Amino acid sequence: MERWPRISLVTPSFNQGRYIAETIDSVVGQNYPNLEHLVMDGGSSDDTLGILKRYPHLTVVSEPDRGQADAINKGFRRATGEIWGFLNSDDTLLPGALQRIAQEINPQHGRHVIMGRCRFIDESGRFIGIEHPSQFTHHRRVLEVWKGYTIPQPATFWTPDVWRNCGPLAENLPFAWIDYDLFCRFSQRYRFCFVDQVLATYRLHTASKTGALTEAQRREESIQISRHYWGKPWSRQYWQLTLSLAWYRFNRVGRARRWLRQAQEAWDHRQPIPTVAYGLAGGLLAPEVAFYVCIYPFLRNHTKGLLRQAVGHLARLREVYPQTAAYLDYTEPWSDGWVGPRVVVTKETEYGGQMVSIRGEVDRKYLSKPLVLTVFADGREIGRQCIEQNGSFELELPLSQPLPAGLHRIEVQASTWFVPHRFARNGDYRPLAWRLTDISLPSCRGCSRQT
């Protein structure tokens, strides 16, 4: 760029000595040539101020405030940049984030608000494999927060005019949702332009605003904030949102799944009348669930050729959910044993590994094509296997060169996967491929299984 626009970044801080150096270093590491970084400290009593003195380029204001929203508002009153954003003192920017934002934001072409992707990290700064869902369609969808919140605050930046027209942060709200309230106002007048790049990280820990609340509490608090922007009771939007929330609370799909499950149990006990009654009730209430629970598996298993391909295509008709995209980099087994497109584990062998042994289970009912597993040991491909039958399986892949004693990285890539929510409408957006039972490295000494 001929001229890099000035970016003003505000960081509120209070007793965050444990994390703030990592936050500041992530900003310094941007090497952005025209940056104003304001740290608004609320009078920390730990080592925060001592840490901040290491960074002479910072503008540090240390004085009592009325909370996070007040601190951020005071920071933006001092801001002089052409692009604004705020980064909490336990979050970080990823390399190249500010340069990308400066290239993407363009108020002359209607690009006043830019939103990228954001990774969740743990207390140690380790990426946990999950991103914050990132998607913007329109203002009403932002208000329908019961369908999921898809605006990652650390990866969102805007022009000063947006703040002047829609700010400042509300200081009378619980700090857990001040950014959601702000973005409800932003979306009333501006479109959030998506950038497909991971720009920031969001730290999850017990003291964070996300970790301190249960999912139900977060949802109910956000719904109360959303209601502030529904409009007048006689407006079209008000009634659209009222009906949407009522439909959500009615839990149509949950009721239908329960009735279809009862129909299956009645069928297993040879009770025809309850089978028909529950089946019809569930099918009428949620025909899409009934189709995928009852009809789709039958068609998938009993059709051939082009018809079978057409049935399989039903699983791929729509784009990936933003909630699913947030899980695509997750490489650990889930607590229920299921794994996604990639699973990575570390295994130890005491005497040297002669082969990789994999045990698991496959349910091909919702897979759109044959499941092929490709296995890597320490980054080197050692083989692949097509799993053609449902149920348990065991693979034993010999190694051309035995692994030495010690720890080794085993990765398994799946050729296909499914999203449970697409078929059962159960809120499970994980991309799932198969269920892992065990991965081991049988040793050279007797080839006994080492777990």
pLDDT of residue 348: 87
pLDDT of residue 97: 98
Residue 298 pLDDT class (50, 70, 90 cuts):
low
Residues 323-336, mean pLDDT to the nearest whole number: 94
- Of the two residues 218 and 394, the one the predictor is more confident about is 394
Name residue 182's amino acid: L
Helix (H) or strand (E) holding 250: helix 236-250
Q: What is the DSSP letter of 183?
A: H
| Positive or negative torsion for Cα 386, 389, 390, 392 | negative
Name residue 136's amino acid: F
149 vs 143: CA distance, rounded Å: 9
361 vs 338: CA distance, rounded Å: 9
Omega prior to 152 cis, within 30 of 0: no
Lowest mean pLDDT among 212-216, 305-309, 350-354: 305-309
pLDDT of residue 288: 65
Report the first-to-last Cα separation within the chain, whole angstroms. 54
Is residue 26 over pLDDT 60?
Answer: yes
pLDDT of residue 386: 93
98 vs 76: CA distance, rounded Å: 18
Residue 39 pLDDT class (50, 70, 90 cuts):
very high
Helix (H, G, I), strand (E, B) or coil at 444: coil
pLDDT of residue 445: 45
pLDDT of residue 309: 53
Of how many residues is the chain composed?
451
HSE, CB side, 13 Å, CA atoms: give it for residue 356.
Answer: 27
Name residue 23's amino acid: T
Token representation of residue 294: 């009852």
Share of the chain above pLDDT 90, in %: 58
pLDDT of residue 408: 93
Residues 39-65, mean pLDDT to the nearest whole number: 88
Pick from 333, 386, 387, 383: which is nearest to 355 by CA?
Answer: 383
Is residue 71 over pLDDT 60?
Answer: yes
pLDDT of residue 451: 42
Is residue 238 over pLDDT 60?
Answer: yes
pLDDT tens-place string over residues 172-197: 887 778 999 999 999 999 999 999 99
pLDDT of residue 329: 93
pLDDT of residue 414: 95
Residues 136-151, mean pLDDT to the nearest whole number: 95
Domains of the chain: 7-227 (3.90.550.10), 252-316 (no CATH), 327-440 (2.60.120)
* Inter-CA distances, 225 with 145, 212, 219, 380, 423, Å: 10, 18, 10, 51, 31
Is residue 211 over pLDDT 50?
Answer: no
- Residue 110 burial by CB count (10 A; 0-12/13-18/19+): exposed, middle or buried? exposed
pLDDT of residue 310: 53
- Of the two residues 320 and 430, the one the predictor is more confident about is 430
285 vs 254: CA distance, rounded Å: 10
Q: Give the residue carrying structure tokens 């399989």.
A: 312
420 vs 234: CA distance, rounded Å: 38
1 vs 12: CA distance, rounded Å: 30
256 vs 264: CA distance, rounded Å: 12
pLDDT of residue 297: 62
- CA 27 centroid distance within chain: 23
40 vs 52: CA distance, rounded Å: 11
Most confident by average pLDDT, 126-135, 283-292, 387-396: 126-135
Helix (H, G, I), strand (E, B) or coil at 222: helix
What does pLDDT average to over the chain? 87
Is residue 269 over pLDDT 90?
Answer: no
Is residue 265 over pLDDT 70?
Answer: yes
Share of the chain above pLDDT 70, in %: 89
Is residue 52 over pLDDT 50?
Answer: yes
pLDDT tens-place string over residues 337-394: 999 999 999 998 887 778 899 999 998 878 877 899 999 999 999 999 999 888 999 9
- Residue 313 burial by CB count (10 A; 0-12/13-18/19+): exposed, middle or buried? exposed
Is residue 225 over pLDDT 80?
Answer: yes
pLDDT tens-place string over residues 82-102: 999 999 999 999 999 999 999
- Residue 361 burial by CB count (10 A; 0-12/13-18/19+): exposed, middle or buried? middle
pLDDT of residue 256: 73
